[in-house]
Amino acid sequence: ADNPLDGREWWKNADEPFQALAACIEIAQAVRSGDPDSYMCRLPVHQDGTCNGLQHYAALGGDELGARKVNVLPSDSPQDVYSGVSTLVAKRVAQDALDGHELAKLLDGKVSRKIVKQTVMTSVYGVTFVGARLQIENALSDQMPGLTDEQMWAASSYLAKHTFASLNQIFLGARSIMEWLAECAKIIAKSHEPVVWVTPLGLPVVQPYRKAGSLQVKTVVQTVALVDSREDLPVSTTRQRSAFPPNYIHSLDSTHMFLTAIECARQGITYSSVHDSYWTHPSSVDQMGSILRDQFIELHSQPLLERLREWFVVKYPTIIFPPLPARGELDLPQVKHSKYFFH
């Protein structure tokens, strides 16, 4: 803390070097104050959600299995959804290897958490098979650099297929809700309208995705592309459909953040956040943890999907919307006792 650049400089090897150094300086000042218990610490402590988008999907669908995998339900140790998915993928690969699948034999025993992590993380944002294959290829190239280009393409495609299947197995409720949201967006866009909804806080949201026109102007020096993005252009069905599930979930996680901020202000504690990382001072970490759990329960105790469908029916009266997917039996108040919900 006193000589960060003249000592052993071990703090530089930390995952977040400057955060580690700041913590060391703060601890040193607290000890030297003579009364560490009453020392006013200005260092923020953050608590992060576990795949926060999947936490919201689990709560929306009452999905008990999915909720357990992302720490919505209490457990003795933190659940690691990435390891859970990689374990399932590894089992599928091992079975294929026993059945004589040549590619599976090559990959058997080599499916790690790192290979599936990015795809699991972005699944809630509607990652496509093409995107997932590229993500897995990037991770696989570090782990198995000896593969040829042809083998790498085949292996990443094969693992992407099993990763999606494993995600569907664990997060069946999330997948059904995602598909319902996408279907609603598709039929709205096909009626030549953008998708519009209102968040639980009453904030209106309009998806701006339209079929932008473009024109190339060639000059002696260069070619310039001019993009026409007027609001009277026709809506893009593909983009409206693919963007709505992640955008809707983002509107819920931002609502959770706002509700937490409002209650923290009411109770007089300092609060800040970056997406699903909530910050406060050490003395109020437990208080903030209690608040964010209460606000999550408050948010998802509302019939969110039912209200969304009712809004669609009123907003787009000529469209017949599909029925809501079946809901599970998740005991949502149990999140109060989940130590690792945000940690």
Among the listed residues 49, 34, 39, the one whose alpha carbon sits nearest the alpha carbon of residue 283: 39
The single residue of 63, 80, 96, 276 carrying the catalytic annotation is 276
Q: What is the dihedral of CA 44, 47, 52, 58, to 10 degrees?
A: -150
The single residue of 69, 80, 96, 117 carrying the catalytic annotation is 117
Exposure on the CB side of residue 198, measured as CA atoms within 13 A = 12
d(CA 160, CA 139): 12
Look up 276 and say whether it is catalytic: yes
Look up 117 and say whether it is catalytic: yes
Measured CA to CA in angstroms, residue 67 lies from 38, 118, 198 at distances of 39, 19, 25
Q: What are phi and psi of 208, to 5 degrees?
A: -90, 5
Residue 4 in tokens: 């960060």
Given a contact cutoff of 8 angstroms between Cβ atoms, the answer to whether 49 and 274 are in contact is no
Q: Specify burial of residue 136 (Cβ count, 10 A radius: 0-12, 13-18, 19+).
A: buried
The single residue of 48, 228, 286, 331 carrying the catalytic annotation is 48
Residue type, 42: R
Given a contact cutoff of 8 angstroms between Cβ atoms, the answer to whether 338 and 73 are in contact is yes
Q: Which residues are catalytic?
A: 48, 117, 276
